[in-house]
Amino acid sequence: MATNKSSCFLLLFLTVILSSSMQCKKIVGCAETIYNFEIGVKAYPDIDSITIGDTIWFEVNTPSLLKDVNGQMVDYSTAANLGSAVSFHTLSEDNQFTIKSVNKFDYLLKEGTQLKITDDLIEYSFSEKNGNYLFKLGIIAKEKGTYGLIFSNAANVYRNNDKCTKASFNINFHNTNPHYNLNPNFQGGPIPVGGDYYFKVK
């Protein structure tokens, strides 16, 4: 009888170990990025100079049915953590965008949710309505200067109903002049696709 109990215990122990091993492998696999998408930000009014008190709007309005970089159409709705960290910097005297500048603007958030704020960036999540991911932020200039802001890409984005299938999102400016002429470090040539934007406050 003791031998049978020991055998049963050993079998149960091995089953638990095997099950745990399989679960661990599944969790490791969940870290892989399966899809790569690109979504656009539009800035308006799209001018390179504004005055104190003026507002620039930054807007994302993209379908949740997205085309992967390989051309596959994917329904990536109900994303749990899609958003961007937007950094704000002023051009310094040595022609570098190094001065942390979140406090140089007032903010009007019409779509999305603010998650975190520091002296150089604000982290936002996008909202989802009627099959579209939405974000709309207005920034109101409070001080003169030449400014640059950058929308970060979003990595390891997962859906509420599928936390294993991850996606990355390249967040770039579309249908917008990013005014690279205001960046003294821009090397010229074809304007690259990017999530950075520059403007002057007079």
d(CA 23, CA 29): 10
CATH code where residue 122 lies: 2.60.40
The confidence score (pLDDT) of residue 31 equals: 63
Within this chain, do residues 42 and 134 fall inside the same structural domain, yes or no?
yes
Q: What is the pLDDT of residues 138-151, one digit of tens each?
A: 999 999 999 999 99
Residue 2 binned pLDDT confidence (cut-offs 50, 70, 90): very low
Instruction: Compute the average pLDDT of residues 109-131.
Output: 97
Within this chain, do residues 98 and 8 fall inside the same structural domain, yes or no?
no
Within this chain, do residues 99 and 149 fall inside the same structural domain, yes or no?
yes
**Quick check: 64 and 131 in contact, CB under 8 A?**
yes
Within this chain, do residues 24 and 50 fall inside the same structural domain, yes or no?
no
Burial of 74 (0-12, 13-18, 19+ CB in 10 A): middle
Within this chain, do residues 85 and 137 fall inside the same structural domain, yes or no?
yes
Q: What is the pLDDT of residues 56-76, one digit of tens each?
A: 999 999 999 999 988 999 999
**Structural domain of 174:** 34-201
Within this chain, do residues 130 and 47 fall inside the same structural domain, yes or no?
yes
Predicted confidence (pLDDT) at residue 4 exceeds the cutoff of 50: no
Question: What does the mean pLDDT of the chain come to?
Answer: 86
